[in-house]
């Protein structure tokens, strides 16, 4: 099934952990609708702008999968509203290219520079919540092994 012109549901629900642990990672109808909006409002504009394949490292996570990976109970991934993009190794564009394009051009709920350094995040987290977008821009970092967030400057 296609969520949009260039994004399949298979790409958004792919999970090695779900396969390994036999966890269903199928979205319900509400989550599927959210994934379609995310694909149309975030994924497709990025792909159209950069004119290259965009790699999703983490998309939808069922509640069971989210628990298995010890994800946040508030994760928008479990609502079909978030994706992590990782262009490292693509040879075309960087994660920072994607981050700055989203920040300057798209409507989004959360945009997170995930770890990395001052020049390039390890990956980019972006979420979209129709009618509830906060345009919150954060940086993820670790302190004593705990992930924390601060405003992006």
Rounded Cα gap, residues 100 and 44, in angstroms: 16
What proportions of the chain, in percent to the nearest 5, are helix, strand and coil? 35, 25, 40
Q: How confident is the model at residue 106 (pLDDT cuts 50, 70, 90)?
A: very high
Question: Global pTM?
Answer: 0.95
Q: In this predicted structure, what is the pLDDT of residue 90?
A: 87
Mean pLDDT of 126-142: 97
Please tell me the total count of domains within the chain: 1
Q: In this predicted structure, what is the pLDDT of residue 91?
A: 87
- The domain in which residue 52 lies consists of 2-151
Looking at 5-145, list the stretches that DSSP marks H as alpha helix, in order from N- to C-terminal side.
Answer: 9-13, 16-21, 29-38, 44-50, 63-68, 95-105
CATH code for position 82: 3.30.1380.10
- Can you tell me whether residue 80 is helix, strand or coil? coil
Quote the DSSP letter at residue 142. E
Q: 67-78, pLDDT tens digit by residue?
A: 999 988 899 999
| Position 109 pLDDT exceeds 90 | yes
Q: How confident is the model at residue 3 (pLDDT cuts 50, 70, 90)?
A: very high
CA 76 vs CA 21, 63, 73, 109, 149: distances in Å: 22, 11, 9, 10, 16
Q: 44-95, pLDDT tens digit by residue?
A: 999 999 999 999 999 999 999 999 999 888 999 999 999 999 999 888 899 9
Q: 9-58, pLDDT tens digit by residue?
A: 999 999 999 999 999 999 999 999 999 999 999 999 999 999 999 999 99
For CA atoms 135, 40, 120, 15, give the dihedral sign: positive
């Amino acid at each position: 099934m296609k969520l949009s012109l260039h994004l399949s549901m298979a790409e958004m629900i792919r999970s090695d952990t779900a396969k390994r642990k036999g966890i269903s990672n199928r979205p319900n109808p509400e989550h599927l609708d959210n994934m379609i909006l995310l694909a149309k409002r975030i994924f497709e504009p990025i792909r159209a702008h950069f004119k290259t394949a965009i790699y999703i490292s983490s998309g939808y996570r069922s509640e069971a999968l989210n628990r298995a990976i010890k994800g946040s109970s508030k994760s928008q991934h479990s609502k079909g509203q978030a994706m992590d993009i990782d262009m490292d190794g693509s040879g075309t564009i960087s994660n920072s290219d994607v981050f700055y394009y989203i920040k300057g051009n798209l409507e989004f709920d959360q945009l997170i520079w995930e770890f990395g350094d001052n020049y390039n995040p390890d990956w980019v987290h972006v979420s979209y919540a129709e009618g509830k977008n906060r345009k919150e821009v954060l940086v993820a970092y670790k302190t004593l092994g705990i992930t924390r967030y601060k405003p992006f400057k």
